[in-house]
Homo-oligomer: A and B are copies of this chain.
């Protein structure tokens, strides 16, 4: 795995694109060589085409790249897509059609039957949808997606518990403002406030969770036959989505069973030592009042899910809190880990 792989970013000037750029700095496998954005930006140097919104400044390695139009042509084979939903559908398809491997954070294709929606620790085998996707669409390339930022934390918390037969999930999120991009949430709306609504978020969480935790069989995914209900809220936090979860199981595990499952959880990314994989994908915190987004989300380079407060639930069986970093594990890091998984499968060769 010593050959370096050139990569590009579709939608590189937006906030998600900036997160990709930051995450890819110093990556041991991937070299960022190409940045694509809207026609308005194309032809400019990257540093002149956007305002950098993240802590730290524009990385030197990308500052002087020339922004390209989002059209197949001189782009590398492997492309991360950070495009707005408004434009991603056609552009991602065009690149896949032209033979590119599109590893997308956009929501557009996630729920299509032949598109893998991957969290490497949970459903790496869903990548097996790709041959069917290529066949059905006549593509040499492919589209592989990662879920919405609020879904990832949930499925990482639930993943180790799947063996006990999840039948019902009720989750209430407290989501960070960075999930809404830039300018995103107006300060007049969120300072000292809670906004108990995020457009389409609840539907996404409910459906994506069922798909990710579903079974690949034959050539398709059978969604997890669990009822999932989400209440999504925006709170005054910069990074890190906190989620209060209640779950019901068919196998009625003990609390010790669940705790053991959480603490011993390890999966393909850990076994293959993928460069962006956290040593332990789920970290259980013993303290009574953790995890907390400002204090914990950035631990383990923002790539782990942090679980705490596992306890019985009077309505379903158990309840707990899960936290994950929405722009790292929930976006740029998610897609990057997907690409690493794909490389480890030989899908980038």
Contacts and interface: CB of A to CB of B under 8 A. Distances in A.
How many copies of this chain does one complex carry?
A: 4
A186 B183 contact: yes
A237 B194 CA distance: 7
Contacts of A321: 196, 231
A56 to B, nearest CB: 6
Interface stretch (A67-75, A94-102, A266-274, A312-320): A312-320
Nearest to A292: B193
The 6 A-B residue pairs whose C-beta atoms are closest, nearest first, are: A172-B172, A183-B186, A231-B244, A197-B289, A193-B294, A229-B315
A231 B310 CA distance: 11
A197 B309 contact: yes
Contacts of A315: 168-170, 227-229, 316
Nearest to A237: B192
A70 B177 CA distance: 37
15 contacts: A15-B188, A53-B188, A55-B295, A174-B174, A174-B235, A184-B188, A185-B188, A187-B189, A191-B192, A191-B238, A193-B292, A194-B235, A195-B292, A229-B315, A231-B319
Contact of A244 (B53, B172, B183, B308): B172
A302 to B, nearest CB: 12
Contacts of A188: 15, 53, 177-178, 182-185, 238
A299 B186 contact: no
Given A235-B194, A315-B168, A229 B242 contact: no
A237 to B, nearest CB: 6
Contacts of A15: 188
Contact of A186 (B170, B185, B192, B295): B185
A339 to B, nearest CB: 27
A50 interface: no
A229 B206 contact: no
B170 A177 contact: no
Contacts of A235: 174, 194, 235-236
Interface in A251-296: 288-296
A238 B186 contact: no
Nearest to A174: B194
Given A170-B246, A174-B235, A246-B170, A191 B195 contact: no
A190 interface: yes
A86 interface: no
